[in-house]
Structure 1
Amino acid sequence: MQDDRTLSTARTLPFSPEAIYAAFASGSVLASWWGPDGFTNSFDTFDFVPGGKWLFTMHGPDGKNYANTSYFAALEPAVRIVIRHDCAPYFTLTVGLSPVEGGTLLTWEQAFDDAETAHAVKAIVGSANEQNLDRLTRALGRA
């Protein structure tokens, strides 16, 4: 944890910032990799513009469905994606993309609205975010 409410990870991916940004910008590509291992997604609304809504359901490997309401708070092509998760647990995800030798340094900062929630989900979210990045890497490798 970076502070009492922000969970962070970073990874260098062997892809350009443009390719990674495109994996967020395409609803069909994003649906193929978003979430931890075993999850699938159904997107109801995907408006990839600043302020655009993203309404979707994550289908868990346990058969449960998890409705999500988000919006794209800020989008800077090939630089930064800010997603506001507007249902419990409330958080803002900032994905940074910086070109480095051999690819892109991707930073993933999930700032929860309160420290209590951040600490309650820390054990689950940390490994889930790493799985999410693994899935992103595999999706980009297939492209």
Structure 2
Amino acid sequence: MTRQDKAETPISRFATLTFERALPVSRGVAWQTWTAPAARAIWAAPTPSVVVEFLEADTRVGGREISLCKVDGQDDIRCECGWLEIDPEVRSVNYEGLSSKGEQMSTALVTADFAGDADSSHLAVTVQLSARSDDLEAGYRQGFEAGLAHLAAVAARTMVLQRIIKVPRSIVWKTWIDPEILPQWWGPNGFSCRTKRIDLRSGGEWVFDMIAPDGTVFPNHHQYSEIRPEDRIAYALLWGENGPKHADAWASFEDCDGGTKVTLGMVFSSEAEFREAKGFGAVELGMQTLGKLERMAQSR
């Protein structure tokens, strides 16, 4: 069979796959873990032997996500996802296409339904699959089972904070991204920042000390992997300059009744670090930080 003949082979295998997963987190956290690009980049690789490289991510109706799945000794698999329906914390629908070396392997319609409350949630995923071979159906089943197990583990160490700020998104964004303004409000009540260097761009960094009211110094290092104007910021949090990473974080900004809905998410490096952070009041301290952001934005 020539390469051209192979490329023209029709996709003729059809299957409907269903998956369910109970998650020990709120529906809001489950939703953010499922949809936020920074979180998806963490749990998308089902095993340590698989590397998923995200090339593009735009999680909104009409947006798309493109990634490469890489395994040593095998051809890369390109995954293109397009978002068709997004009903926050209720349902998402997307198409998904897999290809390798320019040849289409499969297409699928993926529907995710969320239920639950403030303490626990339930995720049900339906995959309507068209594939070239039965092997791909088995691979989809194995991949989704492993991926959802990984998602559950990531969700269990994810913290999500949200605040509605009654200021237009453009002003909130400028308050966050201005290197002169950010250090003035960042941190809980009573804390101050001492900046060593700051470069707020994709690939940039912020090296600074957080200084507590009692004078205790907490070295910090933020490494920015993505900054999309007035949309989202993704960054890694390190314990001090080039120190160990303790979380991957993101901030997103959405229009909300003339104001701005700000979401601050953090996937901690381990459940132990998540429990420690929650134990010393990270939720309350984080909400204080978002409160300072609001007051600063309102004053501009």
Highest RCO, 1 vs 2 (Cα 8 Å, sep ≥ 6): 1
The whole-number CA distance in structure 2 between the counterparts of 1:125 and 1:78 is 25
Which 5+ residue runs of structure 1 have no aligned equivalent? none
The residue number in structure 2 matching 1:115 is 271
The residue number in structure 2 matching 1:132 is 289
Cα deviation, 1:30-81, whole Å, max 9, x if unaligned, reads 1110000100111111101101011001111011111111111110000001
Which 5+ residue runs of structure 2 have no aligned equivalent? 1-24, 30-154
The whole-number CA distance in structure 1 between the counterparts of 2:246 and 2:178 is 24
The whole-number CA distance in structure 2 between the counterparts of 1:64 and 1:36 is 14
The residue number in structure 1 matching 2:248 is 92
The residue number in structure 1 matching 2:258 is 102
The whole-number CA distance in structure 2 between the counterparts of 1:55 and 1:19 is 24
Report if aligned partners of 1:33, 1:135 keep a CA contact under 8 Å in 2: yes
The residue number in structure 1 matching 2:203 is 51
Report if aligned partners of 2:157, 2:274 keep a CA contact under 8 Å in 1: yes
Report if aligned partners of 2:235, 2:250 keep a CA contact under 8 Å in 1: yes
Shift in Å at residue 86 of structure 1?
2.1
The residue number in structure 1 matching 2:52 is none
The whole-number CA distance in structure 2 between the counterparts of 1:25 and 1:70 is 13
Shift in Å at residue 100 of structure 1?
1.6
User: What is the percentage of aligned positions where both structures have the same residue?
Assistant: 23
Q: Which of these residues, 182, 193, 205, is aligned with residue 41 of structure 1?
A: 193
Question: TM-score, length-normalised on structure 2?
Answer: 0.46
The residue number in structure 1 matching 2:161 is 9
The whole-number CA distance in structure 1 between the counterparts of 2:185 and 2:205 is 19
Report if aligned partners of 1:94, 1:110 keep a CA contact under 8 Å in 2: yes
Shift in Å at residue 136 of structure 1?
0.5
The residue type paired with residue 120 of structure 1 is E
Moved more, 10-19 or 55-64: 10-19
> Which of 1 and 2 has greater Rg?
2
Task: Give the secondary-structure state (helix, strand or coil) at the position aligned to 2:291.
Answer: helix
Report if aligned partners of 2:248, 2:267 keep a CA contact under 8 Å in 1: yes
Task: Give the secondary-structure state (helix, strand or coil) at the position aligned to 2:182.
Answer: helix
